[in-house]
């Protein structure tokens, strides 16, 4: 993608915790204004952010703001960044990801041309090899097709490190929530945007790069966490028989699934307090996925 002037209507929001080395590599790559929300880092991440903020100021580049809530807010830290943004569009990035030069200018054009679009899921290239994230292939082949008023295939999910949102729509559905806290936090936001009638689309020519940090939880821990949060989202937004049946089946299966259920159990009362009526369009798409064995 050719270089373009930084868009004036997109703010990049980054949530981080103890990733100083990654931030030193990714922050200088961001175009346009940036808001970094620090989740209580103790490794010098805040110093890295301040150095980059000064560099931008000295070079008259778009500003970088640092927010410090003083504790780990998980995915909801991004909500603070979105509220602090003064632009109609917000591009999320993780501390180990960045947007390709010109990508956000292209995203701005896409949003301007598609007023029902609330979320654009970009093409994500992973690691030094720049391999396509498998989730992108899934989004590109969405079995329910493409709405005529959207710029790409309709999606029922996204990667937070490679998504651009319409600020008003994201905030209207409450942003990310502290029931799931972190990992898989995209699912409930997706359901609520679809339920509200907004469009979500995969746009292949808006590209993000993700070089996963070496500072990550073991794979099995992340799988259990994703399982926990899938269950919690089901209790918040899926039909109760579906949530109950999934919980019972996972308990019977044992292993990681059972551990996910046990981890979810203390949070289920909070999930039920946040519960809303299941959305017919969300359930229709989930049935299509189930029929395809996805």
Question: Rounded to 5 degrees, what are φ and ψ at 7?
Answer: -70, 145
What pLDDT is stored for residue 2 in this prediction? Answer: 45
Q: Is the dihedral of CA 80, 83, 85, 88 positive or negative?
A: positive
Q: Does 238 score more than 60 pLDDT?
A: yes
Closest by Cα among 9, 251, 292, 11 to 156:
292
- For the segment 10-16, the average pLDDT, to the nearest whole number, is 98
Dihedral over alpha carbons 124, 130, 132, 134 (to 10 degrees): -90
For residue 134, give the H/E element and its range: helix 134-140
CA distance linking residue 15 with residue 39, whole number of Å: 7
Q: Are 191 and 237 in contact (CB under 8 A)?
A: yes
- pLDDT tens-place string over residues 79-135: 999 999 999 999 999 999 999 999 999 999 999 999 999 999 999 999 999 999 999
- pLDDT tens-place string over residues 133-147: 999 999 999 899 899
Q: Is the dihedral of CA 151, 152, 154, 156 positive or negative?
A: negative
- Tally of CB atoms within 10 A around 115: 10
Q: Does 294 score more than 80 pLDDT?
A: no
What pLDDT is stored for residue 215 in this prediction? Answer: 75
- For the segment 58-80, the average pLDDT, to the nearest whole number, is 97
Average pLDDT, whole number, for the chain?
Answer: 95
Q: How confident is the model at residue 292 (pLDDT cuts 50, 70, 90)?
A: confident
Residue by residue, DSSP assigns 74-102 as: GGGHHHHHHHH--SSEEEEEETTEEEPTT
Residue 44 Cα distances to 16, 17, 19, 175, angstroms: 11, 10, 8, 28
What pLDDT is stored for residue 1 in this prediction? Answer: 46
DSSP structural state of residue 154: B
For residue 192, give the H/E element and its range: helix 186-195
Question: Does the predicted model carry a pTM greater than 0.85?
Answer: yes
Closest by Cα among 84, 82, 32 to 62:
32
What pLDDT is stored for residue 214 in this prediction? Answer: 83
Q: Does 77 score more than 80 pLDDT?
A: yes
- pLDDT tens-place string over residues 160-170: 999 999 999 99
Closest by Cα among 40, 9, 21, 41 to 111:
9
CA distance linking residue 10 with residue 218, whole number of Å: 34
Closest by Cα among 40, 97, 43 to 66:
40
- For the segment 203-213, the average pLDDT, to the nearest whole number, is 96
- pLDDT tens-place string over residues 190-199: 999 999 999 9
Q: Does 4 score more than 70 pLDDT?
A: no
Closest by Cα among 264, 254, 133 to 204:
133
CA distance linking residue 262 with residue 102, whole number of Å: 45
CA distance linking residue 272 with residue 270, whole number of Å: 5
- pLDDT tens-place string over residues 210-222: 999 887 778 889 9
């Amino acid at each position: 993608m050719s270089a373009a002037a930084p868009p004036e209507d997109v703010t990049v929001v980054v949530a981080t915790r103890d990733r100083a080395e990654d931030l030193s590599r990714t922050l200088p790559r961001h175009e346009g204004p940036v808001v970094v929300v620090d989740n209580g880092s103790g490794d010098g991440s805040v110093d890295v952010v301040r150095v980059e903020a000064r560099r931008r100021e000295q070079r008259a580049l778009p500003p970088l703001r640092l927010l410090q809530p003083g504790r780990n807010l998980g995915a909801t830290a991004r909500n603070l960044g979105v509220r602090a943004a003064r632009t109609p569009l917000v591009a999320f990035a993780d501390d180990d990801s960045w947007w390709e030069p010109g990508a956000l200018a292209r995203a701005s054009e896409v949003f301007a041309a598609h007023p029902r679009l609330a979320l654009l899921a970009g093409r994500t290239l992973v690691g030094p090899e720049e391999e396509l994230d498998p989730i992108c292939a899934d989004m590109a082949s969405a079995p329910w097709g493409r709405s005529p008023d959207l710029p790409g295939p309709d999606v029922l999910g996204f990667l937070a490190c490679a998504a651009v949102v319409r600020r008003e729509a994201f905030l209207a559905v409450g942003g990310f929530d502290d029931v799931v806290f972190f990992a898989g936090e995209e699912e409930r936001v997706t359901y609520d945007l679809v339920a509200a009638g907004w469009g979500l689309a995969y746009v292949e020519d808006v590209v993000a790069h993700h070089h996963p940090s070496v500072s990550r939880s073991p794979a099995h821990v992340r799988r259990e966490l994703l399982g926990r949060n899938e269950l919690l989202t089901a209790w918040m937004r899926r039909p109760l028989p579906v949530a109950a049946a999934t919980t019972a089946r996972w308990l019977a299966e044992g292993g990681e699934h059972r551990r996910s259920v046990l981890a979810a159990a203390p949070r289920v009362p909070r999930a039920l307090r946040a519960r809303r009526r299941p959305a017919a369009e969300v359930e229709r798409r989930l049935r299509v996925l189930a029929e395809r064995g996805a």
